Amino acid sequence: MLAYGIPALSGAIGGRAIRIQEGDIENLDMNAIHRPNQWPRTSSPFPGRWLHSDIKNIVYFYNFTVFEDIVEKGGLK
């Protein structure tokens, strides 16, 4: 998806929808995704907030709902 949906030279991807062959993928507010196991970051300056690299920096136990959402919306199941 990244190779086809995001041009090599472009602005920030969070500012627009990504066009792929099967339809549109809309931007998603990562702070709005349900987190059943709370969030491990509790210190300032951003306690409980989703930061840019959290999909790789926070363990699966805390962000598995993001991966489930990607699978569902991307038709990967």
pLDDT in tens, 16-63: 666 565 555 666 778 888 888 988 988 888 888 888 888 888 899 998
> What are the C-alpha distances in Å from 19 to residues 1, 8, 29, 41, 69?
10, 14, 18, 33, 18
pLDDT attached to residue 42: 87
pTM of the complete model: 0.58
Which position has the higher pLDDT, 59 or 9? 59
Quickly list DSSP for 8-55. SS-S-GGGSPEEETTEEE----GGGS--TT--S--STTSTT---TTHH
pLDDT attached to residue 43: 84
